[in-house]
Amino acid sequence: MAAATPESLNKFVSFCQQHITGQERKEAQTFLDRFFRAFGHEGALEAGASYEEAIKKSSKTGKTGFADLVWKPRVLIEMKKREEDLSKHYSQAFDYWTRLVPDRPRYVLLCNFDEFWIFDFDIQLDTPVSHPTNGIETVGNNHTI
């Protein structure tokens, strides 16, 4: 795991302020790749993560969902558009997490480009263990990926 430095986080924040408008489909992968770089990786793919991971939903529906990023066994990241209420998407992220076996990721991160809700389902289910509300500037504080 790599830790973010104040300099790398400032670079990430600056990039986001200049280039990211918060459109999920258009910008999520760019945002996440820069996020990984802020934590000292060459990029998300280089770290071993995969984008748009197909996840089969319940056998009743037979449908497939797509998690924005999965990096087993570390983190599942589900992105939403800017200003989206992340509480409305907890069930989607939890459902994806329950179906990612074997080597289910320890952490689940819900993000709307400004807020990061970090869940550790080994500790607690319904409440994020970290919920930086001061924007992307604070996400690296005390966290590694």
pLDDT digits (tens, 9 = 90+) for 126-143: 888 876 654 555 555 555
């918060």: which residue's tokens?
Answer: 22
Q: What contacts 113, CB < 8 A, 6 or more positions away?
A: 16, 20, 22, 27, 31, 79, 81, 82, 136
Residue 123 lies in a domain: yes
Instruction: Judge whether 144 lies within some domain.
Output: no
> Do residues 90 and 30 lie in contact, with contact meaning Cβ atoms separated by under 8 Å?
no
Name the pLDDT band for 64 (thresholds 50, 70, 90). very high
Full residue range of the structural domain in which residue 118 is found: 6-138
**Cβ of 59: how many Cβ atoms within 10 Å?**
6
Domain count, the chain: 1
Is the pLDDT assigned to residue 4 strictly greater than 70?
yes
Task: Give residue 133's pLDDT.
Answer: 54
Whether residue 105 is contained in a domain is answered as yes
CATH number, domain containing residue 24: 3.90.1570
> What distance in Å separates the CA atoms of residue 70 and residue 18, rounded to the nearest whole number?
26
